[in-house]
Amino acid sequence: MDSVDHMTGNDLISLGFKPGRAIGLALRLIPEASKTLDREALERELRAVLADPVRNAAHPQFAELAEALRQEQEKPAFVERAEPAPYKVWGEGIDESAYDQLRQAVRLPVAVAGALMPDAHLGYGLPIGGVLATENAVIPYAVGVDIACRMRLSVFDIPAKDLDRLNQMLVRALQPRDEIRHRRRIPETARARCPG
């Protein structure tokens, strides 16, 4: 390690600190502590505070750090919701693994609501075709890699009053017609570009 004046976050990590608020706090307190402690004593005291923040709550240089470490230790890492957040399923014949992923996701403490779209299938953090609404949280891993891969949007110039009458015709027009694709010899590149 370098001199006390140049102690870095990496130096603290090598002492056993985890990246986070405690490192920033320690770096703020070190210059004042270095007025009375040499490098070896400083490292010894930091290790002691890290190892037992409760016992070091009144530490002359690092009481504030000890309190932050104590609070960090007491904070639960994950508390599952008592009841899952509500979710809705849009479609039928969805893979059971997609249901399992969504059922786990809606138990997260930040989950507000969820949904499975008709194209849902096994994803990474969340099913592909899955939606998770959260409160005060963004979960980058809670998306699939081929969002809406089997979803289609069709715009018809049909008055709303005619939709009931034309329902069956529209359903047939929107359903996959694999046998027609094969008879027309549509090239592979023109077919759906997602698995399942």
What predicted TM-score, i.e. pTM, was given to this entire model? 0.43
Is it the case that residue 139 has pLDDT exceeding 90?
no
Which residue has tokens 């994803």? 123
Is it the case that residue 13 has pLDDT exceeding 50?
yes
Range 83-104 average pLDDT: 92
- For the stretch 42-53, pLDDT in tens is 999 999 999 999
Q: What share of the chain is helix, strand, coil (3-state, %, to 5)?
A: 40, 10, 45
Residue 1's pLDDT is what?
Answer: 43
46 vs 194, more confident: 46
DSSP classification of residue 188: G
CA-CA-CA-CA torsion sign (4, 8, 12, 15): negative
Binned at pLDDT 50, 70 and 90, residue 68 comes out as very high
Nearest CA among 104, 102, 110 for reference residue 134: 110
Q: Read off φ and ψ for residue 107, nearest 5 degrees.
A: -95, -5
49 vs 187, more confident: 49
